[in-house]
Amino acid sequence: GESVGLHLPTLSVQEGDNSIINCAYSNSASDYFIWYKQESGKGPQFIIDIRSNMDKRQGQRVTVLLNKTVKHLSLQIAATQPGDSAVYFCAENNRGATNKLIFGTGTLLAVQP
């Protein structure tokens, strides 16, 4: 069936280093991908999205890369800060499915001072 999964459930990085969080998806019909950040006790917060007609999109300190050939998505965070510590979820959507996002299980990013 359709699924979105993460390669690394926990990622520990040093403050100031770059972080890379990976995500695999299985539905080739998915055409919209989103990364969310969830801090403890809060709801997911939108970080960045990318549509399937792109392979890279940049935001402030974050970059999302999409490789449709191998159905892989990654989130790169530059100069990771303690405030980046959170669980990061990728989600996929088939635009014909009324935003019924399929979420991955999440990766915990722990930033060490």
Partner 1 sequence: NAGVTQTPKFRILKIGQSMTLQCTQDMNHNYMYWYRQDPGMGLKLIYYSVGAGITDKGEVPNGYNVSRSTTEDFPLRLELAAPSQTSVYFCASSGTESSPLHFGNGTRLTVT
Does 23 sit near partner 1 (CB under 8 A)?
Answer: no
Member of 49, 52, 61, 78 binding partner 1 (CB under 8 A): 49
Distances in whole angstroms, Cα of residue 74 to Cα of each of 41, 42, 59, 66, 81: 25, 23, 13, 7, 18
Least distance from partner 1 to the Cβ atom of residue 85, Å? 17
Interaction of residue 65 with partner 1, rule CB under 8 A: no
**Which residues, other chains included, contact 23 with Cβ-Cβ below 8 Å and sequence gap of 6+?**
4, 5, 6, 7, 72, 73, 74, 75, 90, 104
Other Cβ atoms within 10 Å of 40 Cβ, number = 7
Position of tokens 């991908």?
33
Among 19, 25, 30, 34, binds partner 1 (CB under 8 A): 34
Q: Which is nearer to partner 1, 8 or 79 (CB)?
A: 8
- Told to check if 32 binds partner 1 by CB under 8 A, we report yes
Contacts to partner 1 by CB under 8 A = 4, 32, 34, 36, 41-46, 49, 89, 91, 93, 95, 98-106
